[in-house]
Structure 1
Amino acid sequence: MTFKDLNLNKFLWNALEDLGFSEPTSIQELAFSPVMSGRDVVGIAQTGTGKTYAYMLPILRSLAYSRQDNPRVLILVPTRELVVQVVDEIEKLCTYLDTRVLGVYGGVNINTQKKQIAEGLDIIVATPGRLYDLAVSRVLQLKSIQKLVIDEVDVMLDLGFRPQLMNIFDILPPRRQNIMFSATMTDDVDALISDFFQNPERISIARSGTPLENITQVGYKIPNFYTKVNFLIDQLASVETYSKSLLFTRDKRMADRLFKILDEAFPEQCEVIHSNKTQNYRLNSIKDFEEGVVRILVATDVMARGMDIDDISHVINVDTPNYPENYLHRIGRTGRAQRQGISLVFTTPKEEKALEDIEELMQYKVPQTPLPDSIAISEELAPEERPEAKEIYNPHRRNSNDEDAPGPAFHEKIDKNKKVNLGGSYRRTIEKKYKKPKTRGDKNYNKRNKRK
C-alpha cells in the first residue's frame, strides 16, 4: 500500500512527497480509517513507527476549513520537547493547507502565548499543566474542541499528570472524539481508557515490550561508574563509529558529572540536557545534536520518549534503568524508520536485577560482551555507590530501642530555655527587691511588716 491508496487529498499527498514518504507504516495504515470514522481509538505501537502521522493524517484530512478563533483539535504530550517536535511535524504536513497550529508549554512567558492564542488557531499542541493554566485564565476557550489526542499517555501518568488530565477532561465538551497513542500499555492507561473512552477501537501492531528488530543490543557487565566512564572514553574516541551517540543516565547529577568528564575528553563535541536546564538551552542542545554540531548528547529520561532525531548511531545506557519500559523507550531513539541502530547497556552488580526485569519484559536476553582487557578498572566510587558509614558503638548516644528514646529530630535545650515558666516574672522580681507589691493602696503593708 502507498499513501495514494489512502483517502488523502492532493495537499497532503504533495506534502508527503516533499518529505520523501511514499508508503505508510503499519500503524499509519491501520489507524487511518478508524480515526477518520470519528470513533474513539487507542493505538499501541513500537516507538519509531510513525505514530504522530498515524493520527495527524486522518485528522487533517477531515478538518474542514474554518476561520473561527477557538481551536478544534487538542493534542496533549508530556514534555516541552515533544510539543516543539509535534508542531514541527504538523507544519510539514500543512505546507499546502491553511491550518493554524500553535504549541504551548511551561517554562516560557505565558503572556506571549496568550497573545498568540488570541490571534486564532485550529490545532493546539500542549503540555497538560500549561494548557490548564491558559484555560483557567479564560484566554483559551476549549468549547470548540472536536478531537482530543493524548500522545505518550503512559509517560504522562508516570510524570504525575493525572490530576491535570482529569481537570482538562472536566472542561472539554462531552461530545468529542478521543484518540490515544502510546508505545506501552499499563494498568493506569487501561483504567483511564475505561473511565473516559466510549467503546474505543484498539489497534496494536506489536506486543507491548517488544524490542525493534532493527536494533542490535549489546550488554557489558561493568563494576562501577568510573569504569563505565573509562570504557566510554575508549569507545567514543572512534569518531567514525560513534558518529551520533545518545547517552542516558539515571538522574541529573549523574548527567552533569558524566558531561563534565566527557567534555574534557572531547572538547566541543558534547552537550547535556535534563529538566534543570532552561528551555532555550534544551532546544539548542537538541538542535546542535540533530544538525551534527556535536556528536555526543548526555541526557536523562526526559529525552527517552517520542523524540525523533535522524541517524542516531548509538544509544548508550550508562546505567541500567529501574523501569523496564524506560529501556525500550531509550533504545527506540535509534533504529527509527527502518534504519539500523545499536544499543549498549552497562550493568553493575547492583543493577543486574533491573536487567533481568528488562529481559523478562522483552522476552529477549541481551547478549553480553566481556569488557576489553585494555580498560582500566577504577577503584573510585561515585557518591551513589559508596557504602553508608555506620557508627559501631557510641556510649553517649541514645539507643533507638529504648522506650523513652526521643525521635530523630531531638536535641537538648540550651540553658536559657531550660527555665520553668512560672508566670509574672516582673512582679516576682519587684517583690523580691522591695519586699512589697508594686500596687498602690495597701497603706498598712509596711506597718504590718514592722510589727512582725
Structure 2
Amino acid sequence: MSLFTDFKISTPLRNALEDLGLENPTPVQEQAFPVVMSGKDVVGIAQTGTGKTFAYLLPILNSLPFSKEKHPRVLIMVPTRELVVQVVEETEKLGKYASVRVLGVYGGTNMNRQKEALAEGTDIVVSTPARLYDLVLARALQLKSVKKLVIDEVDVMLDLGFRFQLTNIFELLPTRRQNIMFSATMTDDVDTLIHDFFTGVEKISIAVSGTPLENIKQLSYAVPNFYTKVNLLVHLLQDSEAYHKVLIFVSNKRSADLLFRELSEFFSEELCIIHSNKTQNYRLRSIQQFDSGKNRILVTTDVMARGLDLTEISHVINFDVPRYPENYMHRIGRTGRAEKEGTSILLFSDKEKEDKDAIEQLMSYQIEVLNLPEEVKVVTQLTYDEQPKHIEHDNPLKINEEERGAGFHEKSEKNRKVNQGGSYRRIIEKKYKKPKTRGDKNFGKRGKK
C-alpha cells in the first residue's frame, strides 16, 4: 500500500495531510496525482466516495506558486451549492500552511457581495456553472489568467441542463490551459463534451459505473404504497442504535415534504430535510446538524446523491426506486465510505419492480428481498400521485385534425395572424391615414374661386 509520503509533495501539503490524519491515498488519488502534475488533460471515472476531491486538489495545490495575481488561476466547477461549500472547505484544509486564496460563489445569495470578494483577488474560484456565467457576463470575474479548469461531477451538470453555460465558459477561457474532469459515469453527453473541447485526454478509470461497492450490504422490501412504506420506516428507525445515522432518498420535493411531515410525529427532534426549494442557509444548517450527529435522520432528494462527504452514515434508504439505475449507485455511495461498512435498503412497490430489475441488471447483482415485518401495518390509503387517474376516453385532450369540423377550419383561418414584421405603428398609420399637410386648413381650396 502506497503512502502520501511517497508523493513528491511540498512540505506545507505534507503538514496539512498529517493534521488531517491521512497517510494512504485512495486508488484514484494515487493514479491521478502524477497525471495532473504532468499538465495533461485528465478525465477520471470513479465512483462517488472514492476521494475524487483530493485527487485533483493535491496536485493542483502542489504546483500552484505564490502570486499576487488578482484574477483566479484555478477554476473549479461543481453542480450544487453544497458541493461549492464542501470543496472550499477541503481546499482550506489542504492549503492551511500555504498562502492560498479560495473563494466559493453560487446562486441563491447576494451577487454584489460576491463581486466585492472577487475584486479583492483570489487564486482559486469554486462555483456552480450558472452563477459563474452570471459573474462573467457582469464583468465581475475575468478568466484570462485561468491555467487549470476542473469540472467535478460533469455528468450531473449535463443532466441538470448546464451544457449552455459550460460551452460558453469554455469559449471564454484561455486556450492554453489544463482540463481536469471527474465523473461517476461516462455517458454519451460526457463523451461528446470531451471530444468537442479537449485534446490528448488521458483517462483514469477506477470503478466501472454500476459495480456495487463491496462494503455496502444491499437489502430490499416489497411494499405496496407510500403510507405502508412510512409504517415500515417508523418500525425500522425505532432502533436508534443500529440506525444511528440514516439518509433517506425520495424522488421529488413534494414526496419529501410529505414524508417529513409523517415522520415528524415520531422523530421530530431527530429529523431534518433538504431539497432545492429550501433556502441555502436552511440546507447548510441541515447538513451541519446531520453531519455532527445532532439530527439522526435526513430526508432528501437526489440533490444529496453526489459529492457531499458525510461521514459515518449507517444506512441509506431508498424510499422509492430511482428512475435511472445509475442514480441508485450514487445514492448508496453515501454510506460505506472510507472502507467502512454500510447498509442500503430499497423500498419498492409493484409499479417500481421494473426499475428495480434495471438496477440489478446494471450491477449484475441480485438485491436480497426481505419479508415485511409482521408488526408493520399494511394500509390502503393512497397519496394523490398513487391514486388512479380517470381518463375520459370520449373527451380526449388532443383531437386529430381529421376529426375537426369545417367550422373550426374556417374560424381558425379567419383568426390566423400573419407576422409581417415591422412596428405596430404601421398598422395604425394605415388605418387612420397620415395627413398630407402639416396643419394647412386651406389645402385643396387654393385655385377655387
Task: Work out the CA distance in 2 between the residues paired with 1:51 and 1:2.
Answer: 17
User: 1:271·1:285 contact (CA, 8 Å) conserved in 2?
Assistant: yes
CA shift for structure 1 position 72: 0.2
- Which amino acid is the alignment partner of residue 25 of structure 1? T
User: 2:83·2:307 contact (CA, 8 Å) conserved in 1?
Assistant: yes
- Which amino acid is the alignment partner of residue 305 of structure 1? R
Structure 1 ranges of 4+ moved more than 3 A: 390-394, 397-406
Equivalent residue number for residue 287 of structure 2? 286
Q: 1:141 to 1:399 in 2, by over 3 A?
A: closer
Residues 262-301 of structure 1: pairs in structure 2 closer than 5 A: 262-301=263-302
What do residues 18-62 of structure 1 show as CA deviations (whole Å, max 9, x unaligned)?
A: 111001000000110000000100111111110000011000110
CA shift for structure 1 position 393: 7.0
* Secondary structure of 2:368's aligned partner: coil
Whether 1:255 aligns to 2:256 is: yes
Equivalent residue number for residue 124 of structure 2? 123
Task: Work out the CA distance in 2 between the residues paired with 1:111 and 1:393.
Answer: 56
CA shift for structure 1 position 390: 3.7
Residues 184-333 of structure 1: pairs in structure 2 closer than 5 A: 184-333=185-334
Equivalent residue number for residue 435 of structure 2? none
Task: Work out the CA distance in 1 between the residues paired with 2:221 and 2:120.
Answer: 54
Task: Work out the CA distance in 1 between the residues paired with 2:207 and 2:159.
Answer: 22
Equivalent residue number for residue 426 of structure 2? none
Equivalent residue number for residue 431 of structure 1? none
Residues 141-156 of structure 1: pairs in structure 2 closer than 5 A: 141-156=142-157
Normalised by the size of structure 2, how large is the TM-score? 0.88
CA shift for structure 1 position 404: 4.8
- Which amino acid is the alignment partner of residue 138 of structure 2? S
Equivalent residue number for residue 424 of structure 1? none
- Which amino acid is the alignment partner of residue 226 of structure 2? F
Q: 1:399 to 1:196 in 2, by over 3 A?
A: closer
* Secondary structure of 1:14's aligned partner: helix
User: 2:209·2:326 contact (CA, 8 Å) conserved in 1?
Assistant: no
Task: Work out the CA distance in 2 between the residues paired with 1:153 and 1:275.
Answer: 19
Task: Work out the CA distance in 1 between the residues paired with 2:204 and 2:401.
Answer: 61
Residues 153-164 of structure 1: pairs in structure 2 closer than 5 A: 153-164=154-165
Normalised by the size of structure 1, how large is the TM-score? 0.87
CA shift for structure 1 position 201: 0.7
Equivalent residue number for residue 102 of structure 2? 101
Unpaired runs of 5+ in structure 1? 410-452
CA shift for structure 1 position 277: 0.5
CA shift for structure 1 position 399: 11
Equivalent residue number for residue 388 of structure 2? 387
Whether 1:346 aligns to 2:347 is: yes
| Structure ID, larger Rg | 1
Residues 57-76 of structure 1: pairs in structure 2 closer than 5 A: 57-76=58-77
Equivalent residue number for residue 23 of structure 1? 24
- Which amino acid is the alignment partner of residue 182 of structure 1? S
CA shift for structure 1 position 181: 0.7
**% identity of equivalent residues:** 60
* Secondary structure of 1:368's aligned partner: strand
User: 2:39·2:178 contact (CA, 8 Å) conserved in 1?
Assistant: yes
> What's the RMSD between the two structures over aligned residues?
1.9
What do residues 347-368 of structure 1 show as CA deviations (whole Å, max 9, x unaligned)?
A: 1111111111111111111111
Task: Work out the CA distance in 2 between the residues paired with 1:304 and 1:257.
Answer: 20
Deviating more after overlay: 146-155 vs 397-406: 397-406
CA shift for structure 1 position 401: 7.0
User: 1:398·1:405 contact (CA, 8 Å) conserved in 2?
Assistant: no
Q: 1:399 to 1:32 in 2, by over 3 A?
A: closer
Q: 1:161 to 1:106 in 2, by over 3 A?
A: same
Task: Work out the CA distance in 2 between the residues paired with 1:54 and 1:403.
Answer: 62
Unpaired runs of 5+ in structure 2? 409-449
User: 1:28·1:51 contact (CA, 8 Å) conserved in 2?
Assistant: yes
